[in-house]
Structure 1
Amino acid sequence: MTDDVTPLELPAPLLLADHPALDLLNTRMMVDGQRQDLLGTDSDAASWLQQSGFGWVTGVEGSDGHLLARLRKLRDSIEGLVAARRENRLADPAALNAFLLAAVPQLVWEEGGAPVLDRFRQGDAASQCLSRLAYAAAELLAEGDFNLVRKCENAECSLMFYDRTKAHKRRWCSMALCGNRHKVAEFRKRRQGAT
């Protein structure tokens, strides 16, 4: 006898945090009450990197999971450092620094153009993408205003964001998702209280 359990269909990762390092953290999110990893294959990892603006990594279809493992390791590193930064406690940046080691500046001077300093020229395409992402995370950790790095106020949501609104009053990962749910719930409460 086989179990007729249908696998949970996971949503595509959302890019709504207003910072790529936080968008990476949001690739692990609450789905039906359980924290799920939205990145399950090298193809998922390559697609996320491309959609997030870090470039395209080719040749990952049917590969061994190496890109996924590296991206997850970077995500875990960033998650621990962001949590420590939000709590004003010390943390070890060694794992993030390992990704930054590939970010060796190179002067690129191509025919017909001016010289350009490219911080991410070293290594293969995957290493370049991961180094760019690690650099964005390091900038956030070192220079970001952590009063503006927040978790969605919906208790059932695990998504984080960088509040870039003018008044810095953003409460929800997205008004279309959690904000709207809150508005509907509040409307129902008021309506029930009126009867």
Structure 2
Amino acid sequence: MFEMSDDKNLPHAPIVGDHLAMDLLNTQARNGEKVVEYWNSDADVLRWLQQNNIYPAEEQSTLADGELLLQAKALRSLAHQLITGFKQEKLQNISELNTYLHSYVSAPYLAPDNDGKLVITRISRGDTAASMLGQVAEAVAQLLVEGDATLVKQCEHPDCILWFYDRTKAHKRRWCSMATCGNRYKAAQFRKRKS
């Protein structure tokens, strides 16, 4: 059975995408020239799902070790292909995404939100990795149907590959995070002008 790791020292994928589909893509990042992989085990994927308030059914213990990781990375790769095509206004083959969507068996779940108000969410009830990732696949599908391709962006910092959905009022967001990439870029530009 999968166990959620409570180790707070493990690195977490950044949640800066303002859309679950963008945060899925951001489970891979870059640090200089090195690609950073945030998913290296089933527990990493489960931790990421929990970070995004997705809770698979607790009785899911039938998956082989590494199966969730394999399916999650496959979904991420598929999402990258579909979202890149969406930005380029090229229709992609959606049959693989439909496989995830058709596997998603869910049930309503009533729970308090961060403000203590009751909200109804859905939890996975299926016992497959594809079902456990169903909400994520649904977020990708919703982006493709309801999203605005011009608002799907990648950070403009040359060393960053993170994605985000630009929900700013003027739609002029440039950075995954102003506190990291925006400030680093501006500081580098300032140093360049000074020298």
Task: Tell me, yes or no, if the aligned pair for 1:20 and 1:133 is still in contact at 8 Å.
Answer: yes
Alpha-carbon offset, residue 168 of structure 1: 0.6
Alignment CA distance shift 1:42-1:149 (3 Å) = same
CA distance in 1, matches of 2:106, 2:155: 37
Looking at structure 2, the residues matched to 31 and 168 of structure 1 have their Cα atoms a distance apart, in angstroms, of 26
Take 1:107 and 1:54, find their aligned partners in 2: how far apart are those partners?
12
The amino acid that maps onto 2:143 is L
SS at match of 1:35: strand
Q: Classify 1:95/1:178 alpha carbon distance in 2 versus 1 (closer, same or farther; 3 Å).
A: same
1:147-169 deviations in whole A, cap 9, x for unaligned?
Answer: 00001101111111000011111
Structure 1 residues 183, 175: CA separation in 2 closer, same or farther (over 3 Å shift)?
same
SS of 1:68 mapped into structure 2: helix
- The separation in 1 between residues aligned to 2:55 and 2:172, in whole angstroms, is 32
Q: Extract unaligned runs of 5+ from structure 1.
A: 1-9, 109-116
* Unpaired runs of at least 5, structure 2: 1-9, 110-119
Q: Specify the alignment match of 1:112 in structure 2.
A: none
Q: Residue 35 of structure 2 corresponds to which residue in structure 1?
A: 35
2: CA distance between counterparts of 1:88 and 1:27? Answer: 24
Worse-matched range after superposition: 160-169 or 117-126: 117-126
Amino acid at match of 1:36: V
Instruction: Name the TM-score, length of structure 1 as normaliser.
Output: 0.78
Higher strand share: 2
- Aligned CA-pair RMSD: 2.7
2:164 aligned partner: 161
User: Residues 109-128 of structure 1: CA distance to partner in whole angstroms, max 9, x if unpaired?
Assistant: xxxxxxxx987664138554
TM-score by length of 2: 0.78
Give the 5 Å matches for 1:21-170: 21-56=21-56, 64-103=65-104, 122-124=125-127, 127-170=130-173
Deviation at 1:77, TM superposition (A): 1.1
Give aligned-pair identity as a percent: 42
Match of 2:185 among 162, 177, 182: 182
Quick one: higher RCO (CA 8 Å, sep 6+), 1 or 2? 2
Query: What CA distance in whole angstroms lies between the structure 2 residues aligned with 1:125 and 1:73?
Result: 14
Give the letter aligned to residue 132 of structure 1: Q
Structure 2 counterpart of 1:97, one-letter code: N
Which whole-Å CA distance do the structure 2 matches of 1:155 and 1:107 have between them? 42
Q: How many residues align?
A: 173
Rg larger for: 1
